[in-house]
Amino acid sequence: EVVMTQSPVTLSVSPGERATLSCRASQSIGSHLVWYQQKPGQAPRLLIHGASTRASGIPARFSGSGSGTEFTLTISSLQSEDFAVYYCQQYDHWPPLTFGGGTKVEIK
């Protein structure tokens, strides 16, 4: 099973600042990585697939990068609606499909 490790667990950022979230895979997964955003009481929302391709309707301030075992989600200028938990998910070696433990982006 591919273990996905996200860091930090909590990220405190001021509105308008840049947020950088990390996701590490226990083995190489190429670019087979997806990012989701989850707000309290809601289902996850698809943000990025293929490590760097924004899903339909996702603002350009969200960008993804990386390949192999190291991946990054960057939010260039945090808006109030961006404070949430972010999960990564790999789809290279499965079953099982696996998710990271999440990074909570909170207001500083």
Instruction: Report the phi/psi class of residue 55: left, alpha or beta, with left for phi > 0 and alpha for psi in -120 to 50.
Output: beta
Name the residue nearer to another protein (CB basis): 9 or 107: 9
Cα 27 to Cα 23, 33, 69, 73, 107: the distances in Å are 12, 12, 6, 19, 33
CB 4 within 8 A of CB 99: yes
Helix (H) or strand (E) segment spanning residue 105: strand 103-107
Instruction: Report the site for another protein in 14-33 (rule: CB under 8 A).
Output: 32
Query: Which stretch, 19-27, 35-43, 64-72, 75-83, contacts another protein (CB under 8 A)?
Result: 35-43
Single residue of 24, 68, 72, 91 touching another protein by CB under 8 A: 91
Name the residue nearer to another protein (CB basis): 13 or 46: 46
Say which amino acid occupies 96: P
Position 93 contacts another protein (CB under 8 A): no
List of residues contacting another protein (CB under 8 A): 1, 32, 34, 36, 42-46, 49-50, 55, 87, 89, 91, 94-102
